[in-house]
Amino acid sequence: MPFEINKTELVWPGKYDEEGNLVQPPRVSLPFQVIERVNETRATREAKKAEGLTLFDVWDGSKEGSNFEDGWRNKLIWGDNALVMSSLLANFAGKVKLVYIDPPFDVGADFSVEIEVGEGEVLKEASILEEVAYRDTWGRGQDSYLSTMRERISLAHQLIADDGFLLLHCDWRATATLRLVGDEIFGLDNYRNEIVWSYRTGGAGKGTTLPRKHDSIHAWAKSVSAKLNSQSERQYLQKAFMGSKIDSAGRHYVDTILRDVLEGALTIVEGENKVTEFSVRPVLNLSSERTGYPTQKPLGLLNLLTKIFSNQNDLVADFFVGSGTTAEAAETHGRRWIACDLGRFAIHTTRKRLLEIDKCKPFEVLNLGSYERQFWSTSNFGQDLDGDGKVNLLEYIAFILKLYGGEPIAGSTYLHGRKGDAYVYVGAVSNPVTIAEIEQAVNECKKMKGTAVHVLGWEWEMGLHDPVVGEAKRLGVKLTLKQIPREVMEAEAVRKGQIKFFDLAYLDVELQQKSNGDVVCVLTDFSTPNTDLIPDEVRESIRKWSDYVDYWAVDWDFQNDTFNHGFVTYRTRQDRTLTLKSDPHTYPKAGTYKVMIKVIDIFGNDTSKLVELKVKG
Ligand SMILES: C[S@@+](CC[C@H](N)C(=O)[O-])C[C@H]1O[C@@H](n2cnc3c(N)ncnc32)[C@H](O)[C@@H]1O
């Protein structure tokens, strides 16, 4: 039957299947796990110390409501936004007032984050290294870009409240097609504006185009009932003009309704005698808000959009949050927020950015943990047809080994492959690698007259480093523990050969109990074996082990679940110093406590250590 065309729409290969049905992406609902809880910022903590309060008189929500009083916590989610948005539907369908998204624009490029190392001066070249922060995930051409964006825009539509909005930030490459995709999902009648964000910085057109100096932010409402907050802009005049007024400083001005072209510094009228400047100028090299994260949008732009399209306590979400601009704008404007990104640098940059906000409300860091990995492995490595898990497992192991540069071997129960002289063991998708598994791998290696084993894992049993490394040494086997990176699940990173297996770093700490019973945690060593990933000139500027540490935190009473930040400290672009000694912590009563220490290194990788502490009465 010929294809019947009865409406105007954008069509691309892959949008419809052979029978003419719209291809629906798989819908999944995976459970979230809370990996960190952050209750207070450096500033709040300092203020509390000054008031003489303890660190624990903080918000404690045991059940979540839709406002902070009822236990709501803002959410920073690490994962692929298709799975994240889909999994949020169960609780948040129709509840989000504003979704802002700024996806990669289908340029096929990699975007690098600038990492400063140690205490070198800001922007001194020898102390900066560049790592891929994110890549154009859908670099397989426009068809796949449109299919993936259609899926995300449709999920956003389901999450948005009846009186809510979607803002979709695009540049000249994606604006025309994404506008049509959005119109189809939201309905042409619900299209409200093409907001033009205009600027003058960046490169010039090379004789073939005029310089491209604006992005488009498409605004759709979920329904006709959605009302935005119109703003007035104050414009100062050289002299009196028809209807102009004079302010207390004697300046002539007129107030006009803010239009949909945003540029420079906008003076927004907030009340009878109050104006606030929103600078929407791009984030330049020397801007104080610059995080070093690529494609960071100006905070003033997000502040303004937040103010126009949402109200106090509304839920605002950004599923491509990058450096965290939307989360910061929502936080400072008293909105609740959900922010998501799949890159570890994005999560880390956003986390630090939030901690810098005075009186930042409690937030938690979540991921889909092993559920996301299981979803990925079953989608990629075929069905487990005979139910014994082997079809899946062998394909999975072969895939990881190939990425690692190894080859499968047959005939061993506990070892999966070889890389050069070393045997390789590949940890399972769903469980942490245990001490017992590593011991089996080391023993098998010894039996097979090998001298080295590399164990690759996604997660690790707590406290495994010392016992396994010690035991392997005793048996004369060189044991290396390697982290399987999250990027393994990103097809583009795999295709571009950008998978780095980091060695597991090693952390040492000392807990000092003072005569008054208070406990202080001191970082005494941090070894990252990944120094070969650092360019020579940067490595030469590294003076001490602590230069590799970017952030560390202590959970004084770890309960084997979520990491609760009791003490936290980190480097910022403005302040590169890092204390290696925590503030003193007072335990409410004597007893045995588990203290968890978490370090995030300059590559954005986590290393944790669990220490048991006996607190005397
Ligand atoms: C253009 S940047 C966003 C910049 C952000 N607006 C800011 O002000 O910093 C796009 C972000 O989308 C993220 N991203 C790309 N694909 C994603 C996916 N499938 N799920 C979640 N995040 C994704 C990238 O890691 C990157 O941080």
Residue 190 φ/ψ, nearest 5 degrees: -95, 5
| Parallel/antiparallel/unpaired status of strands 563-564 and 33-38 | parallel
Q: What is the pLDDT of residues 157-176, one digit of tens each?
A: 999 999 999 999 999 989 99
> How many residues make up the chain in this entry?
617
On whether the CB atoms of residues 120 and 126 are closer than 8 A, the answer is yes
* Residue 62: per-residue pLDDT: 43
* Residue 122: per-residue pLDDT: 43
For the chain, which ranges sit under pLDDT 70?
1-3, 40-64, 106, 108, 120-127, 137-140, 383-391
Mutate to test the pocket of ligand 1, among 342, 344, 368, 375 (most ligand atoms within 8 A of CB): 342
CB of 586 shorter than 6 A to ligand 1? no
**Which of 111, 569, 525 lies closest to 320 in space, CA to CA?**
111
Which domains, ranges and CATH numbers included, belong to the chain?
381-495 (3.40.1350), 505-615 (2.60.40.10)
Q: 319 CA to middle of ligand 1, Å?
A: 7
List, edge to edge, every strand of the sheet that includes 591-601: 567-570, 549-555, 591-601, 606-615
> Does the predicted TM-score (pTM) go above 0.85?
yes
SS3 letters across 337-387: EEEEECCHHHHHHHHHHHHCCCCCCCEEEEECHHHHHHHHHHHHCCCCCCC
CB of 41 shorter than 6 A to ligand 1? no
**Which of 538, 540, 546, 535 lies closest to 601 in space, CA to CA?**
546
* Residue 463: per-residue pLDDT: 73
Q: 341 CA to middle of ligand 1, Å?
A: 6
* Residue 561: per-residue pLDDT: 80
Q: 340 CA to middle of ligand 1, Å?
A: 8
